[in-house]
Amino acid sequence: MSVQSIAFSTGQLAEVRRLQGLYPDKRGALLPVLHMAQDTFGYVSLEVEEYVASLFGLSPAHVHEVVTFYTLYFRQPRGRHVVAVCHNLSCHLAGAPLILAHLKERLGIDVGETTDDGRITLQAVECLCACEAAPMMQVDDRYEMNLTPDKVDRIVEALR
């Protein structure tokens, strides 16, 4: 992705200005604008970070800190499906390490990687807010709870 090819459309720039106007400090709009950038460019590269920083009068380092803090921003192309396994305390105690190890072996990738066919990106995330149904994971926009290796296999197979 070259720096020259990174630019929002006129309509998107108007939306950036509208979002910035919603906050007493325009930096309050940084997260939704980063989501817009990710939707537009596919992921948030260093060049995208630099472009977004210029829209806010921020340093690229500040934007980079935000992007690397949150798990919802992807710094490289992601798969068609995102599988995010919760590894917070409740899920950990209920077997999340086993689920994560099973997924890594089944998919042949590590956390943060995407399968060679571009279908699945694997993540480990801090909390998905369903401790009573641990271990759990989020697959795209839906939640899968009370996981077992067999259940995970069925879920992954349906993504192929």
What integer pLDDT is reported at residue 2 of this predicted model?
Answer: 47
What integer pLDDT is reported at residue 91 of this predicted model?
Answer: 94
* Type of residue numbered 104: K
The angle formed by the CA atoms of residues 74, 77 and 135, to the nearest 5 degrees, is 55
Contacts of 20 (CB under 8 A, 6+ apart): 26, 28, 29, 33, 56
- Strands 81-86 and 120-125 turn out to be parallel
d(CA 64, CA 69): 8
Query: In the chain, where does DSSP find H-type helix?
Result: 10-21, 30-41, 46-56, 60-69, 89-94, 96-107, 149-159
What integer pLDDT is reported at residue 72 of this predicted model?
Answer: 84
Residue 48: exposure state from Cβ atoms within 10 A (0-12, 13-18, ≥19): buried
pLDDT averaged over 10-residue windows placed end to end, the chain, 160 residues = 77 98 97 97 96 98 95 90 95 96 97 94 92 95 96 94
Which of 48, 77, 79, 76 has its CA nearest to residue 64?
Answer: 48
User: What is the pTM assigned to this prediction?
Assistant: 0.76
- The answer, yes or no, to whether the previous bond of 135 is cis (omega within 30 of 0) is yes
What integer pLDDT is reported at residue 160 of this predicted model?
Answer: 78
Query: What domains can you pick out in the chain, each with its CATH number?
Result: 3-69 (1.10.10), 81-159 (3.40.30.10)
